[in-house]
Every structure is written in C-alpha cells, then in structure tokens.
Amino acid sequence: MPPPGSTTGVAADPGQAPRADAGRELPDPAPLATNLARCVFEILAGAREIEQIARWVTDDVYRHLLKRVVLATRARSARGESPQRPSFTVGTVRITEPDTGVAEAVVVIHGRARSRAVALRLESFGSRWRATAVHVL
C-alpha cells in the first residue's frame, strides 16, 4: 500500500474512483462507433434484430433501444408499412476522448430525405469498448 499522499501513476479526480482498466490498451473506437450507428439505424427501421448488438451496449441502452423499436414497429403497423432496409451512407465521424477509457462519438448518417446524427458514449469494458449511451438526433 502506498503511503498517504503519494500517487500510483493513474491520475484520477478526487471524487472519482480510479478505473481498474485505465492502463489497458483499447482498440480504435471509430469502427465500433460507425458500425453501432449503422446497426441502430437498421434496428429502428426493422431490418435488423436488436439482439445483434446486445454485447456492445449496456443493459440501460438495450432497454432504451427496445422501447424505441416497439414504438417504431407500432408506427409502421399503423401506417401499413413493412420493415425495409434503409438506404443511407455514413458521413462524418467525430470522436473525442474526454477521459481515459471514455470515448464520445457523433456519427452523421445521410439518408434519402434527411441527415441524422447518432451520438454515442463508449466506455472501456475490459479490453473493448461498450456503449453506455446512444441517442439518435
């Protein structure tokens, strides 16, 4: 145990516990952010099952997306539409890392009628990233 007042090599906020995985090497978050944004769009369109991203999101994110999927399914049913794979391209991807083991990303998705943004917060989970917040704007 280090003496009081000494540092252990990991800078931390006084009010925040040091992260156990702060020293691990994490992969580039850009591919995950891009693929998650693409998957979220397809899930909301009904072209992909939400279970396919369960490993990459927290339980809270999963429940939030599940609610949105139910609402989108009801809306399509009320309009008499069937699920279709959306046609879109991935535009700009911006990533910032405000803290060790945290990455925040915005992915712009260009559809036929309009462009939308998907905001993601990724946090380290072992040696990989996991989305702790996903918002479609």
Query: Is 94 part of a structural domain of the chain?
Result: yes
Classify residue 69: in a domain, yes or no.
yes
CATH number, position 82: 3.10.450
pLDDT (0 to 100) of residue 82:
86
Per the document, the length of the chain is 137
> Is 51 within the bounds of a domain?
yes
> Residue 44 belongs to what domain range?
29-136
Cα four-point dihedral sign 60, 62, 68, 73: negative
Element containing residue 107 per DSSP (H, E)? strand 102-111
The tally of domains found in the chain comes to: 1
- C-alpha dihedral, 49 to 54 to 59 to 64, nearest 10°: -30
* HEC letters along 20-69: CCCCCCCCCHHHHHHHHHHHHHHHHHCCCCHHHHHHHECHHHHHHHHHHH
Q: What is the pLDDT of residue 18?
A: 40
Say if 73 falls within a structural domain: yes
How high is the pLDDT of residue 90?
96
- Asked, for residue 68, whether it belongs to a domain, the answer is yes
Residue 49 in domain: yes
Q: What is the pTM of this model?
A: 0.77
- Confirm whether 101 is domain-assigned: yes
State residue 12's pLDDT score.
37
Taking the CA of residue 101 as centre, how many other CA atoms within 13 Å lie in the half-sphere pointing to its CB? Answer: 16
Spell out the residues 6+ positions from residue 74 whose beta carbon is closer than 8 angstroms to its own.
Answer: none
Is residue 21 domain-resident?
A: no
- Token representation of residue 100: 């060790």
Per-residue pLDDT of the chain (137 residues; tens, 9 = 90+): 444 443 333 333 334 444 444 446 899 999 999 999 999 999 999 999 999 999 999 999 999 999 999 999 999 999 998 888 889 999 999 999 999 999 999 999 999 999 999 999 999 999 999 999 999 99
